[in-house]
Structure 1
Amino acid sequence: MSDANVTKAQKYLNAMFGANEYWEHLEENGKTGTAVMQGIIRAFQIQNGIIPATGTVGPLTVEKMKSLPNISKMDPNDEPQINVCLIQCALFCKGYSAGGITGIYYNSGVKAIKEMQSDAGLPETGVIDWKVWFGLLSLNWFKKVSGGDSKVVTIQRQLNKDWSDVIGVGPCDGIISRQTALSLIGALQAAEGVTKELIINLNSLNFGPATTAAFPKVLQENQNSSNLIPYNKLVQYGLYFNGYDPGRFDGTYDYLTAREVEAFQEFYCLTDIGLVSKGKVDVSTMKSLLTSKGDVNRKAKACDCATVLNKQQALAIKNAGYTHVGRYLTGYVGKEHVPKYMTHEEVANIENAGLSVFPIYQDGGYYLDYFKKPSQGSVDAKTAILAAERIGIPKGTTIYFAVDFDCYGYQIDTFIVPYFKKIKLCFNSSQNKKNYRVGIYAPRFVCTKVSALGLAYKSFVSDMSTGFSCNLGYRIPENWAFDQFHTIESFEAQPTFPIDKDAMSGRDKGFNKFDKVEEKNAEELKEENLQAKMEIARNQFVYDVMSPLGYLDNIMDAGIEYDKEIPLLHVVSPEGEVDVTTVISTSVNTDTDKVYSINVGIGNDGKLTQTCQNEIVAISADLINSNIDGVDKVEDMLKEVAFSVKSGNITFEVSNVMPLSVEFTLTVSSPDLLPEEDVECGISVALKFKISLNPNNKNRFNEELVYEAAKIVVATAVTVIVIYAILNSGLVLILEAFTIGVPSLIGMISAGA
Structure 2
Amino acid sequence: MADENVKKAQRYLNSMYGHRSEWVKLEEDGITGTGTCQGIIRAFQIENGVTPVTGNVGDVTLDKMRSLPKISKMNANDKSNANVCILQCALFAKGFNAGGITGIYYTTGVNAVTQFQAYANLEQTGIIDWKVWMGLVSLNWFTMSSGGDTNIRTIQRQLNADWSDIIGVGPCDGVVSRFTAYALIAALQAAEGIYTDFIGSLDGTNFGNQTTDKFPDVLKENQNGDFIKFNKLVQYGLYTNGYNPRRFDGIFDSTTKERVSEFQEFYALTGIGLVTQGEVNCATMKSLLTSKGDTSRKAKACDCSTVLNKQQALDLKAAGYQVVGRYLTGTVGSSTRKFITFEEIENIKNAGLRVFPIYQDGGYRLEYFQDLRQGTVDAHTAIASAKRIGIPSGTTIYFAVDFDCYSYQMSSFIVPYFRKLNLVFNSSTNSKKYKVGIYGPRYVCSYISDLGLAKYSFVADMSSGFSCNLGYPIPKNWAFDQFFELNDNNGGKFQSSPSFDLDKDGYSGRDTGISTFDDVPYLTPDQLAEKNSNIMLDAQRDQYVYNVFEPLGYLDVVNNGSLTYNEEFLLNTILLNGLTIKITAEVSDTLTTDFDSTPITIDLNNEGELSTSCEAEIEGMIAGIEIGDFENIDIINSTINDLKDVAVSVTSGQIGVKVNLNGTYPKLTFVITSDDIFPDSVSVDQEITVEISFEIIPTPTPDVDYELVLETLAISALSVAAVIGLIALLSNPGTASLAPEYLIALGVFA
* TM-score greater than 0.5 by the shorter chain: yes
- After superposition, the Cα gap between the structure-2 partners of 1:295 and 1:410, relative to the gap in structure 1 and judged at 3 Å, is same
- After superposition, the Cα gap between the structure-2 partners of 1:261 and 1:624, relative to the gap in structure 1 and judged at 3 Å, is farther
Q: Following TM superposition, by how much is the alpha carbon of 1:615 offset from its aligned partner in structure 2, in angstroms?
A: 4.7
- Give the TM-score, by structure 1 length: 0.80
Following the alignment from structure 2 to structure 1, what is the Cα–Cα distance between the partners of residues 529 and 48? Answer: 71
Q: Following TM superposition, by how much is the alpha carbon of 1:502 offset from its aligned partner in structure 2, in angstroms?
A: 0.6
1:396/1:434 contact within 8 Å kept: yes
* Structure 2 match to 1:481: 479
SS in structure 1 of the partner of residue 161 of structure 2: helix
SS in structure 2 of the partner of residue 491 of structure 1: coil
- Give the TM-score, by structure 2 length: 0.80
Deviations 1:407-453 (A, max 9, x none): 22222222222222232233233333322222211111111122222
- Structure 2 residue corresponding to 1:643, chosen from 635, 644, 648: 648
Q: Following TM superposition, by how much is the alpha carbon of 1:369 offset from its aligned partner in structure 2, in angstroms?
A: 1.8
Following the alignment from structure 1 to structure 2, what is the Cα–Cα distance between the partners of residues 686 and 504? Answer: 53
2:304/2:502 contact within 8 Å kept: yes
* Structure 1 match to 2:143: 143
Give the root-mean-square deviation of aligned CA atoms: 4.4
Q: Following TM superposition, by how much is the alpha carbon of 1:600 offset from its aligned partner in structure 2, in angstroms?
A: 6.9
Task: Say whether residues 1:294 and 2:299 are aligned partners.
Answer: no
* Structure 1 match to 2:386: 388
Q: Following TM superposition, by how much is the alpha carbon of 1:106 offset from its aligned partner in structure 2, in angstroms?
A: 2.0
- After superposition, the Cα gap between the structure-2 partners of 1:449 and 1:636, relative to the gap in structure 1 and judged at 3 Å, is farther
User: Can you give the 5+ residue segments of structure 1 that lack an aligned partner in the other structure?
Assistant: 568-580, 591-596, 654-664, 689-701, 723-733, 749-753
- After superposition, the Cα gap between the structure-2 partners of 1:638 and 1:603, relative to the gap in structure 1 and judged at 3 Å, is closer
Following the alignment from structure 1 to structure 2, what is the Cα–Cα distance between the partners of residues 703 and 680? Answer: 44
* Structure 2 match to 1:124: 124
Query: Does 394-403 or 600-609 show the bigger shift?
Result: 600-609
Q: Following TM superposition, by how much is the alpha carbon of 1:235 offset from its aligned partner in structure 2, in angstroms?
A: 1.5
* Structure 1 match to 2:501: 498
1:365/1:403 contact within 8 Å kept: yes
AA matched with 1:445: Y
AA matched with 1:641: V
Q: Following TM superposition, by how much is the alpha carbon of 1:90 offset from its aligned partner in structure 2, in angstroms?
A: 0.8
Following the alignment from structure 2 to structure 1, what is the Cα–Cα distance between the partners of residues 220 and 313? Answer: 41
Q: Following TM superposition, by how much is the alpha carbon of 1:611 offset from its aligned partner in structure 2, in angstroms?
A: 4.0
Following the alignment from structure 2 to structure 1, what is the Cα–Cα distance between the partners of residues 668 and 188? Answer: 63
Task: Say whether residues 1:613 and 2:612 are aligned partners.
Answer: no
- Structure 2 residue corresponding to 1:542, chosen from 535, 539, 546: 546
Deviations 1:117-158 (A, max 9, x none): 222222332221211111011011111222222222222112
2:541/2:677 contact within 8 Å kept: no
Following the alignment from structure 1 to structure 2, what is the Cα–Cα distance between the partners of residues 50 and 494? Answer: 56
1:288/1:295 contact within 8 Å kept: yes
Deviations 1:356-407 (A, max 9, x none): 1111122222222222234322332222223223322222222212121222
- After superposition, the Cα gap between the structure-2 partners of 1:679 and 1:296, relative to the gap in structure 1 and judged at 3 Å, is closer
* Structure 2 match to 1:304: 303
* Structure 1 match to 2:418: 420
Q: Following TM superposition, by how much is the alpha carbon of 1:687 offset from its aligned partner in structure 2, in angstroms?
A: 12
SS in structure 2 of the partner of residue 15 of structure 1: helix
Q: Following TM superposition, by how much is the alpha carbon of 1:104 offset from its aligned partner in structure 2, in angstroms?
A: 1.6
Q: Following TM superposition, by how much is the alpha carbon of 1:532 offset from its aligned partner in structure 2, in angstroms?
A: 6.3
* Structure 2 match to 1:405: 403
2:668/2:723 contact within 8 Å kept: no
1:558-569 equivalence runs, <5 A: 559-562=560-563
User: Can you give the 5+ residue segments of structure 2 that lack an aligned partner in the other structure?
Assistant: 488-492, 573-581, 592-596, 660-666, 679-683, 696-702, 746-750
1:166/1:190 contact within 8 Å kept: yes
1:699-718 equivalence runs, <5 A: none
- Structure 2 residue corresponding to 1:344, chosen from 342, 345, 353: 342
Q: Following TM superposition, by how much is the alpha carbon of 1:287 offset from its aligned partner in structure 2, in angstroms?
A: 0.8
- After superposition, the Cα gap between the structure-2 partners of 1:669 and 1:315, relative to the gap in structure 1 and judged at 3 Å, is farther
AA matched with 1:492: Q
Q: Following TM superposition, by how much is the alpha carbon of 1:291 offset from its aligned partner in structure 2, in angstroms?
A: 0.5
Q: Following TM superposition, by how much is the alpha carbon of 1:79 offset from its aligned partner in structure 2, in angstroms?
A: 2.6
* Structure 2 match to 1:154: 154
1:365/1:404 contact within 8 Å kept: yes
1:27-426 equivalence runs, <5 A: 27-223=27-223, 225-334=224-333, 337-426=335-424
SS in structure 1 of the partner of residue 35 of structure 2: helix
1:332/1:340 contact within 8 Å kept: yes
Task: Say whether residues 1:512 and 2:515 are aligned partners.
Answer: yes
Following the alignment from structure 1 to structure 2, what is the Cα–Cα distance between the partners of residues 624 and 75? Answer: 79
Following the alignment from structure 2 to structure 1, what is the Cα–Cα distance between the partners of residues 688 and 512? Answer: 39
AA matched with 1:542: Y
AA matched with 1:350: I
Following the alignment from structure 1 to structure 2, what is the Cα–Cα distance between the partners of residues 75 and 487? Answer: 62
Q: Following TM superposition, by how much is the alpha carbon of 1:13 offset from its aligned partner in structure 2, in angstroms?
A: 2.5
* Structure 2 match to 1:573: none
Query: Does 292-301 or 199-208 show the bigger shift?
Result: 199-208
SS in structure 2 of the partner of residue 303 of structure 1: strand
- After superposition, the Cα gap between the structure-2 partners of 1:587 and 1:16, relative to the gap in structure 1 and judged at 3 Å, is closer
SS in structure 1 of the partner of residue 203 of structure 2: helix
Q: Following TM superposition, by how much is the alpha carbon of 1:87 offset from its aligned partner in structure 2, in angstroms?
A: 1.0
AA matched with 1:464: M
2:602/2:654 contact within 8 Å kept: no
* Structure 1 match to 2:490: none
SS in structure 2 of the partner of residue 511 of structure 1: coil
Deviations 1:149-197 (A, max 9, x none): 2222222112112111122111122221222111111111111111223
SS in structure 1 of the partner of residue 38 of structure 2: helix
SS in structure 1 of the partner of residue 12 of structure 2: helix
Question: How many pairs were matched up?
Answer: 690
Following the alignment from structure 2 to structure 1, what is the Cα–Cα distance between the partners of residues 231 and 668? Answer: 63
Following the alignment from structure 1 to structure 2, what is the Cα–Cα distance between the partners of residues 111 and 716? Answer: 72
Following the alignment from structure 1 to structure 2, what is the Cα–Cα distance between the partners of residues 20 and 358? Answer: 57
Following the alignment from structure 2 to structure 1, what is the Cα–Cα distance between the partners of residues 241 and 704? Answer: 62
Following the alignment from structure 1 to structure 2, what is the Cα–Cα distance between the partners of residues 460 and 687? Answer: 46
1:654-665 equivalence runs, <5 A: none
